[in-house]
Structure 1
Amino acid sequence: MTIVRIVYASVLDLRTDEAYYWTWSKELQLCFLDHPPMIAWFIRLGTALFGDTNLGVRFAGIVAMGASQLLLADIVRRVTHDARAVMLAALLPEAALYYGLLMAKVAPDIAAIPFALAMIWALVRLAETDDGRWWLAAGLFGGLALLSKFTVVMLLPAVAAFLLVPGWRSRWLLSPYPWCGALIALVVFSPVLIWNAQHDWASFRFQFVRATAPRDFSLRTFGDYLGLQFGQVGFVVLPVTLSALTLTAWRGYRKRQPVAILLSTAVLVPFLYFLWKSFTLRIGDTWPMFMWPIGFAAVAINIVALPRDGASAWFTRSTRRWARIAVASGIATVLLIFLYYVAAPWNFLGRTDPIGAEAGYQQVAARVDQELARTGATWIATSDYRTYAMMRWFFRGRVPVIQINERARFMGFRDPGMGLIAGHPGLYVVREPDGTGRLLAETTARREPLGRVERTWRGVVMDRYAIDTLTGWTPELAPPPDSPFYQWRWLAGELDGTARA
């Protein structure tokens, strides 16, 4: 399965968000508007080893998957001392599409997952040894997880329940170790705090607006959330995991077992929160992915715990049988999807295909390259971060690429080459329909159409782009916050959730 992920990572073109995170790796920033910096550092490590290649960008995800499996295996080993349970814990991620295949796709989650698991592992070691120094390790890993993705803050209720519900709460509340662990987490997270203090708390405001803006009730977004969980975790793996978590929560809170409380709360609280929010908000496909590996540990531990709790023989056998079915069917599904994207020539889903929807940018880049040579333009302008990222990926610094709007995304970025932009003609590459006409109409920019280019995947047109010459204007790289060229789209029209997110 690791070989499968390496092949997938090497063969498939980068998706737009992956290219976007790759552009971050070229900047020395403490934080970014969208996310903390860990994913940029991960990519920088991979590209230092393998260059600016598909595998170089995605290498960290392959390593993160292996590290996550080792942590899962050791958590289960220390709780159960059962070799079959350890094997099940290592195999369950392979049976879930997101982990078995898509961990090879770069996203902030691939950094958050192993660090979140490492924090859980440290707390399991604490329960096992009763050694308060493991609070310090948990603080370190928790800080690294927060330095990877903000949503792991939803693990805090689990840590609080782990501290407060068992009978040891008075001892640990009076001990310096938990408080020192929290301080370590804060120090590790401090690069994000420093950057935000320097930039008017921009990334926190960005996330706050997304989470709290008023939206209409929608069963569609609720269905999308559940469908994504079934698709990415598994049609059998998901119900098996949720049932195990329910039993683990019942056992943990009834008997005040620290590890059972920790594992069940770490998954059920964020799952139910996202479920509630999904009635009014489109939940991103990767947002809940940090939590499910913790649930896989609960599945393996629950199978061992059932007979010890006096569960009937038929219920225990049924639980084991469904776990085996989940692993077998899940791995088979992952392999079929891998073959579909790597070897098959068909497009069964049309424009809705999640991989195909972001493929084919090399066709746009090739046409842009032709127009650069024909017109003598020296730079490329775009109006969305996806096109910006893909143009930077394909041109690799040969010409400057600028996203003219949403400049808040690029706070603190280095000079892209203004010497080749100011006073020189550029090419404006924009996805149709183009909504930037009014924005540019307020400037001195002159646009002259050159043509159109289609982005296709397996014979299906995914998008169309207009290519214009852009003259008479130099984009401002650092406009003031009240400028329409500064604001990000969450404040400018995407709050209804209908735009591509």
Structure 2
Amino acid sequence: MTLLRIVYASAIELRTDEAYYWTWSKESALSFLDHPPAIAWLIRFGTAIFGDTPLGVRLGGIVAMLLTQLLLADIVRRLTHDVRAVVFAVLMPEAALYYGLLMAKVAPDVAMIPVAVAMMWSLVRLAQSSDGRWWLAAGLFAGLSMLSKFTAIMFAPAVAAFLLVPDWRWRWLRSPYPYLAVLVAILVFSPVLIWNVQHDWASFRFQGVRATANYGISLRTLGDYIGLQFGLVGFVMLPVVLTGLVLTAWRGYRTREPVAILLSAAVLVPFAYFLFKSTTLRVGDTWPMFMWPVGFAAAAVNLATMLKEGWSARMLRSSVFWARTAIVSGIAFVVIVFLYYVVVPWNLLGKIDPIGAEAGYEQVAARAQAALDETGATWIATTDYRTYAMMRWLFRGRVPVIEINERGRFQDFADPGMDRIKGHSGIYVGREPDNRSSLWENIPAKREQLATVERRWRGLVMDTYAIEKLSGWTPELSPPKDSPLFQWKVLAGEFERRILG
């Protein structure tokens, strides 16, 4: 399965968000508007080995998957001493589409998942050894989790329950170790805090807009959330894992067993939160993915525990049957999806295909290059971060690329090459109808329509782009914060509205 992910990572061109995070890896900023910096570091690790190639960008995700599986195996081994349960724990993520294949697609969640599981592993070691120093390891991995993605904070209720519900609470509340662990986590997370202090808490305000957005009750977004969990975790796997989590929670709170409380709350609390939010907001496909590996561990431990608790033979046979079915059917599904994207030449999903919807930018870049050659222009302008990222990725530094709006996204970015921009004409590349946006009222450039180009995937037009010549104007890298060319807050809301369609 690892080889399958390597082939996938090498064969599929980068998606827009992957290219966007790749641009971060070329910068020296402490943090970024959208997310903390760990994903940029992970990409830099991969490209240092394999260069600026799809495999280089995605190598971190492949390594992250292996580390996650090793940690899950050791957690389950320590809790059950049952080889079968360990095998289940290792194979469950292989049978879930997001982990078995799409962990090769880099995102902040990919950087977060192994260190979040390492935090759980540290707390399991703490519970088994009663050695308070494991709190410090947990604090380190908690800080690294937050350095990857802010949603790591959703593990806090599980850690609090792990600390406060069992009978050991007064021992640890009187110990310095939990408090030192919090201090360690804050110190590790400090690059993000420093960057935000310097930039008016921009990341927290940006994510706050997304987290608090409310567009009214919608059964559609609720259905999207539930459907995505079935699709990305597994149509059989999801019920198996949820059943294991509920039984683990019942067992943990009934006996005040710390690890059972930790593992169950780490998944059920975020799952319930996202379920609630999905009634008014579309939950992104990757948002809940940080929690399910802990659920795989809990489900595997539950199977081994049921064998020891004297459940009926019929119930035990049924539980093992469904776990095996989930793994076999899930891995088959992952392989089918892999073959569809790597081998099959047809588009079976139309414009809703999640890979095809972001494919075909090579055609846009080729037409942009032709326009550069025809006009003598020396730089490329865009008005959305996806096109910006793909143009930077495909031109690989040969031509300066700048997004002329949303400049709040690019605080502390290096000079893109203003010596090649100032005083020279540029080429605008924009998705229609962005070329007719009211934004252009604030840009005094002379615009000349050159061409349009279709972005196609497997014969289907996914989008149409306008190619224009810009002259008589030099873009401003650091416009005032009240400028429509800087603002990101409104655009964050528009992003959600576009998704809701």
TM-score under structure 1 length normalisation:
0.98
In the alignment, what sits opposite 1:194?
A: 194
SS in 1 for 2:483: coil
> How far does the alpha carbon of each residue in 1:136-187 deviate from its partner, in whole angstroms, 9 at most, with x for none?
0000001001100000100000000000000000000000111111110010
Matched, 1:314 2:322: no
> How far does the alpha carbon of each residue in 1:238-267 deviate from its partner, in whole angstroms, 9 at most, with x for none?
010001100000000011011100000000
Q: Is the 8 A contact 2:62 2:104 kept in 1?
A: yes
In the alignment, what sits opposite 1:24?
A: 24
> How far does the alpha carbon of each residue in 1:440-488 deviate from its partner, in whole angstroms, 9 at most, with x for none?
2233211110010001000000010000001111111111111000112
Matches within 5 A, 1:473-492: 473-488=473-488, 490-491=490-491
In the alignment, what sits opposite 2:429?
A: 429
Q: Is the 8 A contact 2:364 2:453 kept in 1?
A: yes
Q: Is the 8 A contact 1:406 1:489 kept in 2?
A: no
Amino acid at match of 1:213: A
In structure 1, distance between residues paired with 2:463 and 2:323: 42
In structure 2, distance between residues paired with 1:496 and 1:243: 32
Cα distance, 1:311 vs structure 2 = 1.9
Uncovered stretches (5+) of structure 1, i.e. residues with no partner = none
Matches within 5 A, 1:399-478: 399-434=399-434, 437-478=437-478
Cα distance, 1:493 vs structure 2 = 5.0
Amino acid at match of 1:386: R
In structure 1, distance between residues paired with 2:500 and 2:360: 17
> How far does the alpha carbon of each residue in 1:304-358 deviate from its partner, in whole angstroms, 9 at most, with x for none?
1113233222111111110000000000000010001000011000111000000
In structure 2, distance between residues paired with 1:129 and 1:161: 19
In the alignment, what sits opposite 1:280?
A: 280
In structure 2, distance between residues paired with 1:496 and 1:9: 28
Q: Provide closer, same or farther for how the CA distance between residues 22 and 450 of structure 1 changes in structure 2, counting only shifts above 3 A.
A: same
Q: Is the 8 A contact 1:210 1:495 kept in 2?
A: no
> How far does the alpha carbon of each residue in 1:201-220 deviate from its partner, in whole angstroms, 9 at most, with x for none?
00000001111133211111
SS in 2 for 1:476: coil
Matches within 5 A, 1:171-182: 171-182=171-182
SS in 1 for 2:414: coil
Cα distance, 1:495 vs structure 2 = 6.3
SS in 1 for 2:494: coil
Q: Is the 8 A contact 1:245 1:298 kept in 2?
A: yes
Q: Is the 8 A contact 1:372 1:378 kept in 2?
A: yes
In structure 2, distance between residues paired with 1:401 and 1:500: 29
In the alignment, what sits opposite 1:12?
A: 12
Amino acid at match of 2:240: V
Q: Provide closer, same or farther for how the CA distance between residues 493 and 290 of structure 1 changes in structure 2, counting only shifts above 3 A.
A: closer
Amino acid at match of 2:162: F
In structure 2, distance between residues paired with 1:467 and 1:382: 10
SS in 1 for 2:245: helix
Cα distance, 1:435 vs structure 2 = 5.6
Identity %: 70
Q: Provide closer, same or farther for how the CA distance between residues 359 and 124 of structure 1 changes in structure 2, counting only shifts above 3 A.
A: same
In the alignment, what sits opposite 1:109?
A: 109
In structure 2, distance between residues paired with 1:272 and 1:187: 30
Cα distance, 1:489 vs structure 2 = 5.8
In the alignment, what sits opposite 1:369?
A: 369
Q: Is the 8 A contact 2:429 2:468 kept in 1?
A: yes
In the alignment, what sits opposite 1:152?
A: 152
Q: Provide closer, same or farther for how the CA distance between residues 42 and 254 of structure 1 changes in structure 2, counting only shifts above 3 A.
A: same
In the alignment, what sits opposite 1:142?
A: 142
Cα distance, 1:2 vs structure 2 = 0.3
Q: Is the 8 A contact 2:282 2:500 kept in 1?
A: no
In the alignment, what sits opposite 1:67?
A: 67
Amino acid at match of 1:403: E
Matched, 1:395 2:403: no
In structure 2, distance between residues paired with 1:268 and 1:301: 16
Residue range with higher mean Cα deviation, 401-410 or 304-313: 304-313
Matches within 5 A, 1:232-247: 232-247=232-247
Q: Is the 8 A contact 1:307 1:313 kept in 2?
A: no
SS in 1 for 2:200: coil
Q: Is the 8 A contact 2:89 2:300 kept in 1?
A: yes
Matched, 1:49 2:43: no
Amino acid at match of 1:449: Q
In structure 1, distance between residues paired with 2:67 and 2:194: 29
In the alignment, what sits opposite 1:382?
A: 382
In structure 2, distance between residues paired with 1:454 and 1:377: 22
Q: Is the 8 A contact 1:282 1:497 kept in 2?
A: no
In the alignment, what sits opposite 1:295?
A: 295
> How far does the alpha carbon of each residue in 1:342-376 deviate from its partner, in whole angstroms, 9 at most, with x for none?
00011000111000000110000011111101110
Cα distance, 1:15 vs structure 2 = 0.2
In structure 1, distance between residues paired with 2:490 and 2:299: 38
In structure 1, distance between residues paired with 2:135 and 2:493: 44
Matches within 5 A, 1:69-148: 69-148=69-148
Matches within 5 A, 1:163-242: 163-242=163-242
SS in 2 for 1:427: strand
SS in 1 for 2:327: helix
Task: Count matched residues.
Answer: 501
Q: Is the 8 A contact 2:428 2:468 kept in 1?
A: yes
Cα distance, 1:490 vs structure 2 = 4.2
In structure 2, distance between residues paired with 1:108 and 1:495: 18
Matched, 1:348 2:342: no
Q: Is the 8 A contact 1:213 1:495 kept in 2?
A: no
SS in 1 for 2:434: coil
In structure 2, distance between residues paired with 1:480 and 1:310: 68
In the alignment, what sits opposite 1:264?
A: 264
Cα distance, 1:436 vs structure 2 = 5.1
In structure 1, distance between residues paired with 2:23 and 2:405: 17
TM-score under structure 2 length normalisation:
0.98
Residue range with higher mean Cα deviation, 436-445 or 161-170: 436-445
Q: Provide closer, same or farther for how the CA distance between residues 341 and 170 of structure 1 changes in structure 2, counting only shifts above 3 A.
A: same
SS in 2 for 1:484: coil
SS in 2 for 1:145: helix
SS in 2 for 1:498: helix
RMSD: 1.2
> How far does the alpha carbon of each residue in 1:88-131 deviate from its partner, in whole angstroms, 9 at most, with x for none?
10000000000000000010011100000000000000111111
Amino acid at match of 1:439: L
Amino acid at match of 2:40: A
SS in 2 for 1:92: helix
Amino acid at match of 1:149: K
Uncovered stretches (5+) of structure 2, i.e. residues with no partner = none
Q: Is the 8 A contact 1:383 1:436 kept in 2?
A: no
In structure 1, distance between residues paired with 2:286 and 2:225: 11
